[in-house]
Amino acid sequence: MSVSLIVTKSIDRDYNETGDSISDADWIAFIESDSALALRTEPFEATAPDGGVIRMSVPPGQSEMALNDGTRIPFLALSRGELSMRYHPDMEDVSNLVRQKVAQIAHHFNALITSDAGDEFLEW
């Protein structure tokens, strides 16, 4: 089972609803201001067991992050005012570039980092 990482302004540290969200315009402006990020426009592709290609549409607000070697990886996606992506165990390492970028974004938006398990806030 995978866990999703969530960057949100919709709740405070006491789990009270705030009514705040990250707007599409603010998210796109942030992506455009950060050279390591880009909006993903091409569909995701996977190979089916029969060898055929499966194409999945890109959700609005889906970003990609460029790693140091130039590789681009799926990154945060905006949906209903929250940013989310799949959590990876290597994000436990404070030197992980993805973790550092998520923390930078949460700080920029004055948002909290949590997971869909909802059991704690991540203090990155």
Tokens 């609005």 correspond to what residue?
Answer: 60
φ, ψ of residue 79 to 5 degrees: the values are -150, 125
Residue 6's CB: how many other CB atoms inside 10 A?
24
φ, ψ of residue 4 to 5 degrees: the values are -100, 140
Alpha-carbon span 87 to 91, nearest angstrom: 7
- What is the per-residue pLDDT across 48-95, written as a single tens digit (0 to 9) for each? 999 999 998 888 889 999 998 988 999 999 999 999 999 999 999 999
pLDDT of residue 52: 92
Structure tokens at 106: 């949460």
- In degrees, to the nearest 5, what angle opens at C-alpha 29 toward C-alphas 83 and 60? 50
The pTM (predicted TM-score) of the whole model is 0.86
